[in-house]
Structure 1
């Protein structure tokens, strides 16, 4: 089947004033008009659109046109009723104000994972999204193999991925050939960096954190990855790409807590915006932490079990998650010997120590 150019039909009972508006005010041009003796139908094109103005019933529709600067007034109404909205071609990322709350999400109590982009299964770790400021997802690809992904990027303030199980082959703009992200590894996806997931192992799992919770994912159909350039220090919105490899990162003491940490280098890559580490017992079953002043303090049990102490005792198991609001004392106890806990903090500086 061979398809020609598509058209969007808009109802138009009186063609002449509508046509004058679209061609004169908005710069569309006429492609087709008929009948010649009494025109009733016109096909017009412009701004990447092809419209058919014709008699008929229905909603007159809304057309959004990117304009920089936006004209005044920013909204017009065509004679046929179509609403014209002039919008910012590249609107800034809107981050909602903080809405702190204590969050405890247990895997056993969570609803079934929902299917998201590229067939990935998503489990929501912060159902209330902290007022829309943060999203945390436990993502799985059960079957493995090639991933139905495409070159894309995200308009975000912050986004990181931590691999909990298995591996995936990824490729990023200006960061060299595809590479493996394996269990324990962490990747920072700076704002607008183009990337693609190529394939994964069966049972692949990651924890993904994003700010703001609602952000755009945009396809880039022109860019091919990998790119020819290798620019590991390239600045993307004040951040640099990071692939933290667990196998190459030592464990170091976490203050006087009796725990140790595997740092990711996230603080340097984000210029202090965020920090990410994995902590585990190193001789002590827990610790008491003073109140922190972070806007976001998130924990996810990668392995083992532990009790979270915050206004009571909360036993946690594998894949359980929590958020501790600023100003609240908390701590851990009864940590199993195999406990590994992912900790994500914004801004960098608030610590379990």
Structure 2
């Protein structure tokens, strides 16, 4: 196949729609998923590469990979990304391209205009925040529902598809690196006839963590309890994902910091609210769907909380 012909466009999503509907091309690859600026399409042995120079790869990675934002992070506005899903970037700057953390919303209910695809990633997980989403994964059997508190680890290049969603469903997705290619799978149909839940995909194993089956354990300091998703072992230590909740305050409760072998943790507030002392000269209130980061040297204390629960991803 010849080298793809590059075509400049103002809006990649609109250009994909035009080339596929009017000219018979098929989509092969898109990047990045949250706000595409590049797409590869093909037709009868010919390839075209759609490019938009205003994409987030040029403007959305201003952060330093080694410098964490402090305090409550003011996340960005909702934008429309791949397959019509709405994305809210939780970490502006994306730590210099190190990772992307997205709050994703499926505003419309019913069938999702998705397709079987896979991602060129080192790590990727999905956590259901609200609603219900029906998904299917390669070698993992029949489609199933993700409900609030459920979590999946998507190993690198596992084929999968979002099938259906309740209106207003929301998930948190974290992936490394921040910019990665999403490829369309034209050959493999899902669900696959073979079921192999222990299959290893590029060194990692698929995980489905179901909230109703979570086992809660007390933290060492007694102020928190946590539920492990099993992602640490399935990724061979690439990332650790737990849900924490406060079970008592009793004065200042020290925040759970990243394990010694991890660089930092992302905290996404699932419910409740809290007053947190980031030791930066004041008390900060945080609420549901806020996000903040902490490294192993952080000095952060809870000074008040109400029904507080958070998703914690340690990298």
Higher relative contact order (CA 8 A, sep 6+): 2
Per-residue Cα deviation, 1:323-342 (whole angstroms, up to 9, x for no partner): 12342222323111x21111
Residue 314 of structure 1: how far off its partner (Å): 1.8
Residue 111 of structure 1: how far off its partner (Å): 4.4
Runs of 4+ in 1 over 6 A off after TM superposition: none
Q: Which whole-Å CA distance do the structure 1 matches of 2:191 and 2:256 have between them?
A: 45
Report what 2:58 is aligned to: none
Report what 1:304 is aligned to: 272
CA RMSD of aligned residues (A): 2.5
Q: Is the 8 A contact 1:102 1:325 kept in 2?
A: no
Q: Which whole-Å CA distance do the structure 1 matches of 2:172 and 2:300 have between them?
A: 23
Q: Which whole-Å CA distance do the structure 2 matches of 1:121 and 1:180 have between them?
A: 20
Q: Which whole-Å CA distance do the structure 2 matches of 1:305 and 1:244 have between them?
A: 25
TM-score (norm 2): 0.76
Per-residue Cα deviation, 1:227-274 (whole angstroms, up to 9, x for no partner): 011111101111100010000112211112321111111111111111
Residue 105 of structure 1: how far off its partner (Å): 5.0
**How has the CA–CA distance of structure 1 residues 332 and 177 changed in structure 2, closer, same or farther, with 3 Å as cutoff?**
same
Residue 291 of structure 1: how far off its partner (Å): 6.2
Match for 2:244 among 279, 283, 288?
279
Residue 112 of structure 1: how far off its partner (Å): 3.0
Count of matched residue pairs: 257
Report what 1:344 is aligned to: 313
Report what 2:94 is aligned to: 129
Match for 2:106 among 126, 141, 161?
141
Match for 2:210 among 245, 249, 253?
245
Q: Which whole-Å CA distance do the structure 1 matches of 2:225 and 2:257 have between them?
A: 20
Report what 2:23 is aligned to: none
Q: Which whole-Å CA distance do the structure 1 matches of 2:123 and 2:264 have between them?
A: 12
Report what 1:93 is aligned to: none
Task: Confirm or deny that 1:260 pairs with 2:230.
Answer: no
Q: Secondary structure at the match of 1:324?
A: strand
Mapping of 1:22-33 within 5 angstroms?
none
**How has the CA–CA distance of structure 1 residues 265 and 300 changed in structure 2, closer, same or farther, with 3 Å as cutoff?**
same
Q: Which whole-Å CA distance do the structure 2 matches of 1:263 and 1:187 have between them?
A: 12
Q: Which whole-Å CA distance do the structure 1 matches of 2:110 and 2:194 have between them?
A: 28
Report what 1:14 is aligned to: none
Give the unaligned 5+ runs of structure 2.
7-43, 50-62
Match for 1:200 among 161, 165, 170?
165
Match for 1:318 among 276, 280, 288?
288
